[in-house]
Amino acid sequence: MNVATTIDRTRATSTAPTDQQVQAYLRTGLRNRWWPILPSRFIEAGAKPFGIMRLGEPLVIWRDSAGAVHVQTDRCPHRAVPLSRGINEGDRLRCNYHGVEVGPDGTVLKVPGQPGCPLEGKKAVKTYPSREIAGAIFTWFGDALHEDAPDFEPPEQLVAPEYSQFLCYADWEMAWRYAYDNLMDPMHGTFLHANSHTMYQGETQAHFVTRDTPHGFFFEKDGQRDVNFDWSEFVDHDALYVRLEIPYPKSGGPGGNFGIVGFATPADENNLAAFFWRVRKVSGWQRDTWRFLYKTNLEPRHWHVLEQDREILAGVKPGLEKHEMLYQHDAGVIRLRRYLAQQARKQLVELQTAGKG
Amino acid sequence: MSDYHFPYLSPRQTRTGEPNAWQLELANAIEAVFTKGAQELDEVVAGLNQSRVRPPSGGEWTAENFKAVMHELGV
């Protein structure tokens, strides 16, 4: 072993992030992932730019006159006031404070008060890689080592033609990780949602098992399938999401289970943006009929179920864990938390090693 | 900005307008037919013909007019 290696190892040990640092890092989300940030329908072409907080970062979202969506840091490079209070000029944003104009790639196009100023031509506003999928704007939140976005392969339920889907969006005033805990906890369906139109069947006791997948794991009831909310699948495939299925009652008609693809995007430490795609693998007249029933009768019933989740979790803040006493049904939650901590630790170590921590 | 206000807690996000009375009756009738066990298209059509809800043009429900109506309303 040479001296240089010994020194490197010593440094790596001394800078290893503590559990507290890992948890603090996670409070505003895991980086190097795609996250849905807002339903597409909220951002109209040419309309006023919109300011929003996601992963603890202030963002301005706007759609140019050609219809393309842009997501940028919500700060004018001149005096750092929000660009979202500015004007959408169709192909650029104009700050309302001193008229500084910023293009969709973050370049300062014009400083009207001082033409020729060095700020002109400078790429001074961070621009986030973004794309629209299944009615939502997805944005890449890379750390200092991963500013370029990898291709994103969305969940097939959102893009494959054999699926039909509706996006349900909600602002939840709670820490983002508890929404994932909730999704990885199928047993709450049997109790919290016992009176819902979908989750009234099955045993109130269960033994759970985990099953690995290439990009995550299943947490499922042993010996019970397609009866109630029987399983959840956690996926980390360029984005963090959970898939689950719930059998419909007869009134839901033919076409199989009701599926959910859920994301909970951190807004800040204590708020999240919930994206629940309600999906069904259904085609032809069955697809059309489900969509008609959904829009007319089913949507408020599904919303009622989601509200039960929101109400039980409302206001939970980071640190809940220290008051818990978990049991076997929480194995999925425990595994999920451990996984997120591992990923956060890995990112912190990489940043520190590169001198960017 | 369109209809966004924090916190956004809207139970209705997938339709652009209120359904009319006939559409509501039709949705309820279809759910009732499903609840009775209909799965196939001809069973649904037969079930609807037992209900009070008529197709837009009046007369009997057929596989064709049912599929056309659902296609129009379910987009």
pLDDT 10s digits, B4-62: 999 999 999 999 889 999 999 999 999 999 999 999 999 999 999 999 999 999 999 99
Please say if the pLDDT value at position B75 is more than 90. no
pLDDT 10s digits, A136-159: 999 999 999 999 999 999 999 999
How many C-alpha atoms does A261 have within 13 Å on its Cβ side?
23
Amino acid at A116: G
Residues 6+ apart with CB under 8 A from A287: A164, A255, A280, B74
Residue among B11, B15, B35 minimizing CB distance to A295: B15
* CB–CB contact B34 A252 (8 Å): yes
Enumerate the residues of chain B whose CB falls inside 8 A of the CB of residue A295.
Answer: 14-15, 19, 73-74
pLDDT 10s digits, A161-196: 999 999 999 999 999 999 999 999 988 888 888 877
Summarize the confidence of residues A312-340 as an average pLDDT.
95
* CB–CB contact A251 B4 (8 Å): no
Please say if the pLDDT value at position A1 is more than 80. no
Please say if the pLDDT value at position A8 is more than 90. no
Give me the sheet containing A87-88, strands edge to edge.
Answer: A87-88, A93-94, A101-102, A108-110
Please say if the pLDDT value at position A256 is more than 80. yes
Nearest to A62 by CA among A12, A20, A102, A16: A102
Interface of B with A in 32-61 (CB under 8 A): 32, 34-37, 39-41, 44
Neighbours of A315 (CB within 10 A): 10
Please say if the pLDDT value at position A12 is more than 90. no
What confidence score (pLDDT) does residue A85 get?
98
Mutate which of B43, B48, B70, B75 to test chain A, going by most A C-beta atoms within 10 A?
B70
What confidence score (pLDDT) does residue B49 get?
98
* CB–CB contact B8 A166 (8 Å): no
Main-chain phi, psi angles of A130, to 5 degrees: -145, 150
Task: Look up tokens 């006031």; give the residue.
Answer: A81
Please say if the pLDDT value at position A77 is more than 90. yes
Helices (H), B1-75: 21-35, 41-49, 63-73
**Whether the bond into A249 is cis, omega within 30 of 0:** no
Summarize the confidence of residues A210-220 as an average pLDDT.
95
DSSP one-letter string for A124-174: -S-EE-EEEETTEEEEEE--TT--SPPP----HHHH-TTEEEEEEEEEE-S
Please say if the pLDDT value at position A9 is more than 60. no
Per-residue confidence band for A5, with pLDDT thresholds at 50, 70 and 90: very low
* CB–CB contact A285 B66 (8 Å): yes
Low-confidence winner among A14-18, A114-118, A258-262 (lowest mean pLDDT): A14-18
What confidence score (pLDDT) does residue A2 get?
43
Asked whether this complex has an ipTM greater than 0.85, the answer is yes
* CB–CB contact B12 A300 (8 Å): yes
* CB–CB contact B12 A41 (8 Å): no
Summarize the confidence of residues A188-217 as an average pLDDT.
84
Enumerate the residues of chain A whose CB falls inside 8 A of the CB of residue B13.
Answer: 39, 166-169, 299
Please say if the pLDDT value at position A209 is more than 80. yes
Per-residue confidence band for A260, with pLDDT thresholds at 50, 70 and 90: very high
